[in-house]
Amino acid sequence: MKSLSSRGGTIEQVTAVVIGAGHMGLAASRCLNERSIDHVVLERGEIANSWRRERWDSLRLLTPNWLSRLPGYHYDGSDPDGYMTMREVIDFISRFAVLSSAPVRTHTTVTRVQRTDAGYDVATTNGNLRCRTIMIASGACNVPSVPALGKAVPPSIRCFTPFSYRNPNDLPEGGVLVVGASATGVQLADEIIRSGRPVTLSVGEHVRLPRTYRARDVLWWMDASGVWNQRYNDIDDLMRVRRLPSPQLIGTPERATLDLNALSSAGVEIVGRLSAVRDGRALFSGGLRNLFALADLKMNRLLGTFDEWARNHAREAEVGPAERFEPTRAPESSTLKLDLRNGEIRSIVWATGFRPDYSWLGLPVIDDKGHLRHDGGVVDAPGLYALGLPFLRRRKSTFISGAEDDARELVDHLADYLATPASRR
Amino acid sequence: MTTTGANNGVNVQALLDAREALKGAPEAAQFTWRASCRWQNGTHSESKVQSFFGLGQEQSHKTETSLGADHPEVFASEDHAITPIEYILVGLASCLTAGVAAVAQNRGIQLRSVESNLEGKMDIRGILGVDSDVRNGYDDIKVTFKIDADASKEDIEALVAQSQKRSAVYDVITNPVNVTVEVA
């Protein structure tokens, strides 16, 4: 690293800046180290910061331990089929940072990125840097999204997001409306009803998956059959799959399936998509049955893909017999209206997804939906890259085991970029 | 994605092209549908539909359609035409059916026949004001499709599911919409 002039008003120079020291940023750092590209990893908090501060207490990884692997590093404990707790994830990632000697600067928040003739100026809370290339690895889940209709919720209702919720004890006694049925929504609905609070779960489009299929973890099937590795440029409707909610999965020692049938058996009332809050009443869509039909059809199609793969690759002997699951049970008539003022519902948990925060990125690379414009992580600005976004380059792109392939390919691209004279770009 | 072979009479390519074109032109995608209605006598009215707005300009159907509405004799009316609430079933059925044809074309599935029966259940104590806890409109609508096509049962179910997912009438029935009624 060089400095332009003596310290004090100086701008430190570095070839590459990685923003974010989570599993993605550290994987990128490892690949940059392998190619001896000098870089720093800027981290607003500590290593694995989101895993430390932005997760509820009971969360475990959705992927089994044997799938926890990063470049040159993998899980080697005694429970390959288990799912890591957050403490274990933090330790796993922190060990990787040490082993790969990642040049991490903690407590260094990037406040502004701007184009220069030769690259970028990066302003941070801890001094400024000038670099030729940037890897954005700050994640896809920086801000919980709450739909605009949330503003109409009566003030007597206490509202939570996955960032403010830690465990059911945070909630007032009484009924809870959980909005959203992705992994977050189903997991929180499950633990909240176990705490003795009545739970209503508002369900929109969702992705149903069994935890295990034919005696194997469903992610074993995803991985082995190649579905997990499907590439972004082989997908017909990439925009749609990039917006898919996370699958209804939970990591538990029992390897339990947590679908809507399991939740309704536990006493959760399933209602349609929350479509309006009007005069203090929540109004739910009457289209629940079709959402169930769509999710069941898609799950069965995926299981059919797995069956076909097992047949065609002579793997039938090592898995259990083919199975199909009970269709999602539709309530005879679902509740369409819920009075939010009569005291029945005391709190709402908005499990309605997350969005990335690019407010610090002073470049015209954001579309009108607030998403980064990129082609497989190659952002629409020279030398700028992104990692860890949904289906960035592969279906597995946001998962820990998806970090290596994406990071390697993008660091290859970055190295080519550095080696190409500006006149030939 | 238009597949050779299947021909359901839907120009899917034009729809896919429109979808591409409108990605960059949200203004052109703003449509306004219109109807005008004139009271005849009793519960009988006649509505006319012809013009609409879309793709940035005034548009018009080839011909004007007149639609009568009335109540049946059991409601002590003269029954000049079907009831307004029955138009909802007509709208839903025709919207879902158009969707089935379009999705089938897009997926290369040849349709031979698509029939549906609809039932909307309604407690008329609502509109009569007998019991304020009873809603005015349908509380349950059931659509049953009978489809003959070159496809598995699962693929046909997927067609019907996808057509619901993309149906304007299904959406406006299952979700609340802002309605303003005023006197000019």
Task: Please state, in angstroms and rounded to a whole number, the distance separating the CA atoms of residues A45 and A17.
Answer: 16
Residue of B144, B145, B171, B174 to mutate, interface with A, max A Cβ within 10 Å: B174
How close does chain A come to B39, measured CA to CA in Å? 32
Model confidence band, residue B2 (pLDDT cutoffs 50, 70, 90): very low
How close does chain B come to A395, measured CA to CA in Å? 22
Residue B60 has pLDDT above 90, yes or no: yes
Contact B157 A293 (CB under 8 A): yes
B109 contacts B158 by C-beta, under 8 angstroms: no
Q: Is B52 exposed, middle or buried (0-12, 13-18, 19+ CB in 10 A)?
A: middle
A406 contacts A391 by C-beta, under 8 angstroms: no
Contact B174 A287 (CB under 8 A): yes
Model confidence band, residue B19 (pLDDT cutoffs 50, 70, 90): confident
Closest chain B residue to the Cα of A368, Cα to Cα: B24
How close does chain B come to A236, measured CA to CA in Å? 9
Closest chain B residue to the Cα of A282, Cα to Cα: B176
Residue B109 has pLDDT above 50, yes or no: yes
Predicted pLDDT at B4:
55
Predicted pLDDT at A9:
60
Which residues from A are below 8 Å from B175, CB to CB? 273, 275-276, 283, 285-287
* Nearest of A206, A216, A399, A402 to residue A307 by alpha carbon: A216
Q: Phi-psi bin for A267: left (phi > 0), alpha (psi -120 to 50), beta?
A: left
How close does chain A come to B176, measured CA to CA in Å? 7
**Chain A residues 3-32 with a CB less than 8 Å from chain B:** none
Q: What residue ranges do the domains of chain B occupy?
A: 10-77, 83-175
Predicted pLDDT at A7:
47
For residue A273, give both structure tokens. Answer: 């998509």
pLDDT-wise least confident of A324-333, A409-418, B21-30, B69-78: B21-30
CATH code for the domain defined by B83-175: 3.30.300.20
Residue B71 has pLDDT above 80, yes or no: yes
Residue B105 has pLDDT above 70, yes or no: yes
pLDDT digits over B120-142, tens only? 999 999 999 999 889 999 999 99
How close does chain B come to A297, measured CA to CA in Å? 7
At which residue do the structure tokens 């923003």 appear? A19
Handedness of CA B158, B164, B165, B166 (dihedral sign): positive
Instruction: Report which DSSP code applies to B110.
Output: P
How close does chain A come to B42, measured CA to CA in Å? 34
Which residues from B are below 8 Å from A272, CB to CB? 174
Q: Which residues of chain A have pLDDT under 70?
A: 1-9, 425
Contact B176 A297 (CB under 8 A): no
A47 contacts A99 by C-beta, under 8 angstroms: no
Close Cβ partners of B81 (under 8 Å, ≥ 6 residues apart): B44, B67, B68, B69, B70
Contact A290 B154 (CB under 8 A): no
Average pLDDT, chain A: 95
Percentage of chain B lying above the pLDDT 90 cut: 84
Per-residue buried b or exposed e for A71-103, using 16+ beta carbons within 10 Å of the residue's own CB: bebebeeeeeebbbbbebbbebbbebbeebebb
Taken in order of first residue, the domains within chain A and their CATH numbers are 2-142+356-424 (3.50.50.60), 144-350 (3.50.50.60)
Closest chain B residue to the Cα of A332, Cα to Cα: B140
Contact A297 B1 (CB under 8 A): no
Closest chain B residue to the Cα of A287, Cα to Cα: B174
What is the fold, at CATH topology level, of the domain defined by B10-77?
Answer: GMP Synthetase; Chain A, domain 3 (3.30.300)
Of A272, A275, A333, which has the smallest distance from its Cβ to B140's Cβ? A333
Close Cβ partners of B20 (under 8 Å, ≥ 6 residues apart): none
Handedness of CA B97, B155, A237, A61 (dihedral sign): positive
Q: Do domains B10-77 and B83-175 have the same CATH topology?
A: yes
Task: Please state, in angstroms and rounded to a whole number, the distance separating the CA atoms of residues A411 and A361.
Answer: 21
A340 contacts A280 by C-beta, under 8 angstroms: yes
Contact A287 B175 (CB under 8 A): yes
Predicted pLDDT at B1:
44
Mean pLDDT of all residues in B27-35: 95
For residue B114, give both structure tokens. Answer: 């698509």
The H or E element that residue A88 is part of is helix A86-99
Chain B contacts to A (CB-CB under 8 A): 1, 139-140, 154, 157-158, 161-162, 164-165, 170-171, 173-176
Task: Please state, in angstroms and rounded to a whole number, the distance separating the CA atoms of residues A301 and A209.
Answer: 11
Contact B161 A293 (CB under 8 A): yes
At which residue do the structure tokens 């793709």 appear? B55
Residue B2 or A342, more confident:
A342
